[in-house]
Amino acid sequence: MDLGRYIFRRGSQLLPLLFGISILAFLLIHMSPVDPVEARLGKEEASLLSPEDLAGLRASWGLDRPLYWQYIIWLTHVLQGDFGISHLSGRPALAVIAGCIPATLVLMGTGYLLVVAISIHLGAISAKKRDTLLDHTCTVLSFIFYSTPNFWLALIMVYLFSIKLGLLPVCGTASPKALAFSLPELLRHLILPAAVLTLTTSPWYIRFLRASMLEVLAHDYVLLARAKGLPEKTVVFRHALRNALLPFLTLLGLAFPHLIGGAVVIETIFAWPGVGRLLVESALRADYPVVMGLVFLLSIFVLLGNFLADIAYLLVDPRIRYGGESD
Amino acid sequence: MNKKAYAGACFLSLVVLIAVLAPHICNYHPVDTSLGDASLPPSREHLFGTDDLGRDVFCRCVFGARVSLAVAFSVALITTAVGVAVGLVCGYTGGLVDNILMRAVDILNSLPNIIISIVILAFLKPGIFNVLAVLAFTGWTATARVVRSEAFSLKTREFVLAARALGAPDAHIIFLHLLPNVLAPALVAATFSVAHAILAEATLSFLGLGIPPHEPSWGNIMMEEMDDLMVGVWWTVFFPGVLVVSTVLAVNFLGEGLKDALETGKGDRHV
């Protein structure tokens, strides 16, 4: 199977998935206690209308039609980027969400780079020095941080570094006194949330790369490289690591859901104005148009991430291209 | 089994024992307030200190363990039962049923569990039952996948083919030949789902979407008291968190140990 056809086949699998997600999302909204007219117009405007006007609007929006017809109407709106009006801010849900994307990108981008850098280094070294003190320390620490709730780590770090030592700001992206945007300020505010995100996300990847490295190091070509008298560094980093990174690549595409799951909680604690905090606030205050908009956009991103990871894996490892795909 | 797994099992049993014996261990009631004793640091009288309403943090943690562990074990039980059932049916029958159920798994996996839980709980009222239902709803997919792939490879093995050739009905093959052989991976998956459920319940309760405050759980104890950190009261948040970390760590060690032990014994399976 050639690459183009594979991409097409893999890509066409995304559509039924999105279809399924849209049906679930629609049913959730349909079961919610919020009136659809209020959802579209905002509470204030809807309260100004007379009952006859409301009935007219309901009819013109198809709310008196059967459920499947309502779904089709809803879907056409969603496909045009119209998720309704946010109850909380009175602005279109999509605009509210878009406003929160930059902050999330900064936090998650930093987290992503740190997770990749740390897990490749620690995973490789841990495997190379298997069963040494270093490896054991790394393993135990990985397990501890893997078992730590991110919100608790965040609170403890805020207590230590912000409240006790006064080194770093407690929350937000800039100090209230700052008039203009300044990069150093942003970075100072970024340290704690990014550290918590990295510490709680990395362990899984460190363990994975370590296992992958151990498997590769047992191969004959590694033995050959050693027998040739190549320096250990070359053997480990040139020969072994490159091959151990192959399965790791797929994993990195899957890191997006992992990171966004962490970001939801961490952004809430640090009052970081990103989509994660938006999701929690909207969920707590029943701002359904924003919640469903986020569900839709985030799942598209996750599915795209998986898709790209598959393609990337295919490009670097031609062996898979010609075998069947597994599901 | 290795030392870590033993240590994990011992610690977990200890926590379960403490949770069961909670009323006999605590000198104070977990929700009784006593404003005169507000925000006392840890002492012999109050092992973990007291919170801003004078409630004993140790007792709240001990009673919280009941709620947190009950939720976690129930979730693990439900997700394992559902996961094994779905996995066996999908792996054995294949075809349309498999296709539909696996697409359902894909849909649930297109967002992190924590986000799906937050979204669904946004439509529901907070409460133990809703938390349990949501965690079970999002949690079964991992077990189903593992069991499905096991069942998939088992069904072409000689003993299954032989049973089929002898005319054994599908139900007989699924229950007597496949089920015993997927129990090992299912047990490992169940162990890890206990760990996931403890963390997820703590996180949801902490966000205010989980178990309501009048019923102390490890998550909502921390949620209620986090403002106190600002004034230097660290013990109300620190100790429940340490309990969560150490319990989850114990469960994860146990899971890893079980995984190692059961994988090495792969040769001798029930036929």
Q: Between B110, B118, B234, which is nearest A280 by CB?
A: B118
pLDDT of residue A241: 85
Q: Name the residue type at position B153.
A: S
Q: What is the pTM of this model?
A: 0.88
β-sheet bridge partners, residue A85:
A92
pLDDT of residue B267: 43
- Residues A245-303 pLDDT 10s: 887 877 777 788 889 999 999 999 999 999 999 999 988 887 888 888 898 889 888 88
Question: End-to-end CA distance of chain B, in Å?
Answer: 24
Nearest chain A residue to B4 by CA: give it.
A140
β-sheet bridge partners, residue B22:
none
A208 touches chain B (CB under 8 A): no
Reduced DSSP (H G I as helix, E B as strand, rest coil) percent helix, strand, coil of chain B, to 5: 75, 0, 25
A12 touches chain B (CB under 8 A): no
pLDDT of residue B269: 43
Kind plus residue range of the DSSP H or E element containing A252: helix A241-253
Indicate which of A155, A204, A210, A280 best probes the interface with B, i.e. most B CBs within 10 Å of its own CB: A155
pLDDT of residue A265: 93
pLDDT of residue B1: 53
A317 CA: distance to closest CA in chain B (Å)? 23
Chain A residues in contact with B206 by the CB 8 A cut-off are 149, 151, 265
Q: Name the residue type at position A236.
A: V
Residues in chain A: 327
A305 touches chain B (CB under 8 A): no
What gap in Å lies between CA B261 and CA B1, rounded to an integer? 6
What gap in Å lies between CA B235 and CA A189, rounded to an integer? 25
Helix (H/G/I), strand (E/B), else coil: B246: helix
pLDDT of residue A234: 85
Question: Are A14 and A299 contacting, i.e. CB atoms less than 8 angstroms apart?
Answer: no
Here the tokens at position B197 are: 């459920």
Q: Name the residue type at position A255.
A: A
B115·A260 Cβ contact <8 A: yes
A299·B248 Cβ contact <8 A: no
- What residue segments make up the domains of chain A, in order of their start? 100-244+260-285
- Looking at beta carbons, which pairs linking A7-13 to residues 24 or more positions away fall under 8 Å? A7/A311, A10/A307, A10/A310, A10/A311, A10/A325, A11/A307
Chain A residues in contact with B232 by the CB 8 A cut-off are 163
B70 CA: distance to closest CA in chain A (Å)? 18
A156 touches chain B (CB under 8 A): yes
Q: Is A31 exposed, middle or buried (0-12, 13-18, 19+ CB in 10 A)?
A: exposed
Q: Is B143 exposed, middle or buried (0-12, 13-18, 19+ CB in 10 A)?
A: buried
Among the listed residues A177, A157, A179, A181, the one whose alpha carbon sits nearest the alpha carbon of residue A168:
A157
Q: 């956009």: which residue's tokens?
A: A297
Q: Per-residue pLDDT for chain A (327 aa), expressed as one digit of tens each?
A: 577 887 888 888 888 888 888 888 888 877 777 676 776 676 677 777 788 887 887 777 677 778 888 888 888 888 888 888 887 888 888 999 999 999 999 999 999 999 999 998 999 889 988 889 999 999 999 999 999 999 999 999 999 998 888 888 887 777 666 667 778 888 888 999 999 999 999 999 999 999 988 988 888 888 888 888 888 888 888 888 888 888 787 777 778 888 999 999 999 999 999 999 999 998 888 788 888 889 888 988 888 888 888 887 777 776 766 554 443
CATH 3.40.50.2300 describes domain A100-244+260-285: no
Instruction: Fill in the DSSP letter of residue A49.
Output: S
Q: Between B111, B118, B248, which is nearest A147 by CB?
A: B248
B245·A144 Cβ contact <8 A: yes
What sign does the CA torsion over B57, B60, B62, B65 have? negative
What gap in Å lies between CA A177 and CA A166, rounded to an integer? 17
Nearest chain A residue to B103 by CA: give it.
A17
Nearest chain A residue to B249 by CA: give it.
A147
A17·B103 Cβ contact <8 A: yes
Q: Name the residue type at position A69.
A: W
A208 CA: distance to closest CA in chain B (Å)? 14
Domains and CATH numbers, chain B: 3-20+58-264 (1.10.3720.10)
pLDDT of residue B138: 93
A280·B207 Cβ contact <8 A: yes
β-sheet bridge partners, residue A171:
none
Chain B residues in contact with A286 by the CB 8 A cut-off are 122
Chain A residues in contact with B253 by the CB 8 A cut-off are 143
Question: Are B104 and B140 contacting, i.e. CB atoms less than 8 angstroms apart?
Answer: no
Question: End-to-end CA distance of chain A, in Å?
Answer: 17
B206·A151 Cβ contact <8 A: yes
Indicate which of A12, A24, A29, A151 best probes the interface with B, i.e. most B CBs within 10 Å of its own CB: A151
**Helix axes B57-93 and B3-20, enclosed angle (nearest 10):** 120
Among the listed residues A302, A299, A294, the one whose alpha carbon sits nearest the alpha carbon of residue A278:
A294
A163 touches chain B (CB under 8 A): yes
10-residue averages of pLDDT along chain B (271 residues): 86 94 81 75 81 84 92 96 95 90 88 90 85 94 92 89 91 91 92 95 91 88 83 87 95 91 56 39
Instruction: Fill in the DSSP letter of residue A236.
Output: I
